[in-house]
Amino acid sequence: MNTHHTKGKADLAVAKTIADLTVKGYVIFTPLICEHLPFDLVAWKENKFLKIQVKYSSIERIFANTSWNDKHGNHKRQYQKDDFDYYAIYLPHKDRVIYPSFDYRGIIIRTNLPNSSSPFYWWEDFLEIKSNVLNRNIKDFQRQASRVKMKRRYSARPKSRKVERPSKEELHELVWTKPTAHIAQDFGVSDKAVEKWCKAYEIEKPPRGYWAKLYSSK
């Protein structure tokens, strides 16, 4: 493996993590003396220190062990509970950092929806530092997509225009001056709306055929 290339990825993951945690309000400390600590950063916020193990990863499984090479060969060791508190895993294909706690070591965190109905952990649920994350089901996303679709459909509907209706005296004069259809057109409402105004005001309208007779007599 190209050591320089691997170090470049590690440095990028650390830089992304520092930037993300700083935005989240954490103060970041980096070990300057020892490079062989089981954690890479210390994050401080609200009088609480968190040891952070930073990773660059394109795979979905959370590392459960660490490995290194020296003159004696390749070595591997399981992470221990006291090694660190949280992973900070930079996902290059999402350009985001997720923060599974130590207790989630070895699990798979999905970045693409699976085809099965089995429960799974979703990457967006780990964008904040929290100790407990619930697993998901594909039905959760189907329900969420359905709600978004309904919301978009509802918001796309033209909103009804509110029209300030005339006073009782005004409306009484209008209904005896011109037909309901003309009044509705003037106010930009339907005939039914004018009918409701008259009913609310208890205004008696001209009888059926009134306007026809009036126009014929003229």
pLDDT bracket for residue 87 (50, 70, 90): very high
Per-residue pLDDT at 161:
58
Confidence of residue 50 (pLDDT cuts 50, 70, 90): very high
Phi, psi of 138 (to 5 degrees): -60, -25
Same domain, yes or no: 19 and 115: yes
Query: Which pair of tokens denotes residue 57?
Result: 């990863």
**Contact yes or no for 64/78 (Cβ under 8 A):** yes
As for how many domains the chain has, the answer is 2
Average pLDDT over residues 65-89: 86
Same domain, 135 and 179: no
Q: Specify whether 209 is located in the same domain as 111.
A: no
Q: Which region among 23-27, 59-63, 81-85, 139-143 has the lowest average model confidence (pLDDT)?
A: 139-143
Residue with the larger pLDDT of the pair 4 and 74: 74
Domain CATH for 99: 3.40.1350
Q: How confident is the model at residue 96 (pLDDT cuts 50, 70, 90)?
A: very high
Residue 96 lies in a domain: yes
- Res. 54: pLDDT tops 90: yes
Nearest to 97 by CA among 144, 52, 136: 52
Please report, rounded to a whole number, the percentage of residues in the chain having pLDDT higher than 90: 43
Distant-in-sequence, close-in-space partners of 18: CB < 8 Å, separation ≥ 6: 28, 30, 41
pLDDT digits over 115-146, tens only? Answer: 888 899 999 999 999 989 988 888 887 777 66
Q: Does a structural domain hold residue 159?
A: no
Between CA 123 and CA 111 the distance in angstroms is 6
Return the closest-CA partner of residue 211 out of 183, 185, 178: 178
Asked if residue 96 and residue 21 are part of one domain, the reply reads: yes
Q: How far is CA 72 from CA 1, 4, 76, in A?
A: 17, 21, 12
Going by pLDDT thresholds of 50, 70 and 90, the confidence category of residue 48 is very high
Asked whether residue 97 falls in the same domain as residue 177, the answer is: no
Q: Is there a single domain that holds both residue 172 and residue 134?
A: no
Q: pLDDT: is 162 or 64 the higher one? A: 64
Q: Are residues 106 and 23 in the same domain?
A: yes
Q: Which domain holds residue 132?
A: 3-139
Note whether residue 115 is domain-resident.
Answer: yes
State the average pLDDT over residues 195-206: 91
Q: What is the pTM of this model?
A: 0.63
